[in-house]
Amino acid sequence: MSHNIHSSRYSDLPDLPLKPPTWMYKKKCKLIHFSYSLRNPTFQQGYHGIQPSFIIGTLHLKFPNRKPLKARKIEIYFKGSMSKANKKLFESTRNELDGEITELNLTFEFKIPKDSPSTVIPINSLKAQGEISYSIRAVITQRPLKFLNMEKPRCKMVEVRCPITRWSLPITATASRNNYESLNDTSPVMFTKSNKQVEGQITFGQSTFRNESLVMVPLKLVFHHSNTHIRSFASGRPHIKKICMQLKEYQRLKVKARYYMEKRSLISSEFPPSKLSSIPDAPDEFHMELKLDTSLADCKYPINSAAQTEMVDVWHKLKIKVCMNNAKDLTFEKKITLVNAICEEEAKRIVFGWPSLDPEWRYEDLTLE
């Protein structure tokens, strides 16, 4: 695996780089910390899954002059693992210098293995089931203390989480060596539910959506009794109490011959019936564009993209519920796929920018199914 380490000084940097927040550290030390490369908010560089990508950052050590760090060896690891399955995805390491350190910056670079999946944050943090995690660990081996007659070297350790995102080409596009053309994700799918008062129709134009974007689904309502809904709206007591839209995430982890299943609610939105718009020349029909912004997820517990690996599967469901006052609620559920898709302009730049792509990869395979 390609990686290298070289030293630098703060004075050589034009600006202080961004660094991971405290909660991302698994093991920390006040005198040792990591930072990202300049003008980048993560360790990951490049669209992993589409082009060769790397983990790039800097390890900073700063100790007082009166008490320098007496290091025998410095090792930096880039690790990937899958919890509850006792499976190590990969591990990279590099040894460095030997001496007394007061201030030192070590810049590291690791190539991400091509088949590495995205980070998967477990739904149940206590059990940590279904986790695919990556981290960067620095292990500093110190010289033994002579006056204590210590033979075994002492160690300092700092470890920080390093989330990895696997990217896909745009949902409505495919790229190849010779062309770049649009295609449909899937044929539109319509769901119909009804009760004694109203019939509801939900149309899914696609089943794959881009993560951290708007999920839009059109809703159409047809009332069975003419003018009943009009009198109800006018009196302030509509038949419809509210319309809810909810996104759920499911995780399944395989351990030996057993499966563990977890689920959680990610984001939900409510829409008042007053937002329904009438359809011209159809007095009994109303429509509304339901929208759910997946970018509003908690940054500490972000939405995991869809994954299907040897040990962990991740998928999502969209639930839409029309809550009624005096009738049975209308409930719609649809399994969807959330992916980290780049925009079409960026896809064109990558596909036709030959130097940025791995020549061993087949361009015809860069198609999102």
Residues 127 and 186 in one domain: no
Model pLDDT, residue 126: 55
Residue pair 167/48 in contact by the 8 Å Cβ criterion: yes
Q: Which two structure tokens, joined as six digits, stand for 97?
A: 């210098």
Q: How many CB atoms lie within 10 A of CB 249?
A: 21
Q: Which two structure tokens, joined as six digits, stand for 213?
A: 């974007």
- Chain segment 198-211, per-residue pLDDT in tens: 889 998 888 888 88
Number of domains the chain is built from: 2
- pTM of the entire structure? 0.71
Residues 60 and 139 in one domain: yes
pLDDT class for 282, splitting at 50, 70, 90? confident
Model pLDDT, residue 174: 44
Residues 215 and 261 in one domain: yes
pLDDT class for 257, splitting at 50, 70, 90? confident
Which of 27, 56, 48, 59 lies closest to 119 in space, CA to CA? Answer: 48
Model pLDDT, residue 308: 84
Model pLDDT, residue 345: 78
Residues 98 and 204 in one domain: no
Residue 166 within any structural domain of the chain: no
Residues 195 and 295 in one domain: yes
Q: Rounded mean pLDDT of 151-163?
A: 82
Residues 218 and 121 in one domain: no
Report the share of the chain in percent with pLDDT over 70: 72
Residue 98 within any structural domain of the chain: yes
Is the pLDDT at 264 greater than 50? The verdict is: yes
Residue 368 within any structural domain of the chain: no
Q: Which amino acid appears at position 135 of this protein? A: S
Pick the last residue of a domain from 135, 161, 187.
Answer: 161
pLDDT class for 83, splitting at 50, 70, 90? low
Residues 221 and 290 in one domain: yes
Q: Rounded mean pLDDT of 322-333?
A: 89
- Chain segment 181-201, per-residue pLDDT in tens: 443 455 788 899 988 888 899
Distance from the Cα of residue 307 to its chain's centroid: 11
